[in-house]
Amino acid sequence: MRFYYGNFSGDTGYFSEKDLVKAIYTAWNIDAELYLLNDGVKKIDFNKSFFDQVKLIFAPCEGNELNTEILEEYGYKMEDREPYREIIDIKTNEIVKYDWSEVKQLI
């Protein structure tokens, strides 16, 4: 899967990742929105409609309800758990995590 990320600091870029949750943690690490590039899109053409080229996957500044709505089709949800907000596998109700050393450093 190929992803595009952007945050309020102006950091943007592309990266590839096979694991969706790992991609989310990668973007979350820098408080970036994460978008999945649509099939056939290698790089966003900003002269065209942005949302015709991507699909929002994760919005760190939004609440659990929106992120859960986005993630449900992939089998995940977001919940507040102690002490942090977590990504939960819907089938097992288990927290899905990665060691930060496994997460790509984007900036």
**pLDDT tens digits for the chain (107 residues)?**
999 999 888 889 999 999 999 999 889 888 999 999 999 999 999 999 999 999 999 999 999 999 999 999 999 999 988 888 899 999 999 999 876 666 666 65
- What is the rounded CA–CA span in Å between residue 42 and residue 48? 14
Residue 107 lies in a domain: no
Contacts of 32 (CB under 8 A, 6+ apart): 5, 6, 7, 11, 60, 106
Q: How many domains does the chain have?
A: 1
Q: What length does the chain have?
A: 107
Side chain identity, residue 67 = N
Torsion of CA 50, 104, 74, 56, to 10 degrees: -20
User: 64: part of which helix (H) or strand (E)?
Assistant: helix 64-71
Residue 55 lies in a domain: yes
For 21, the domain range is 2-102
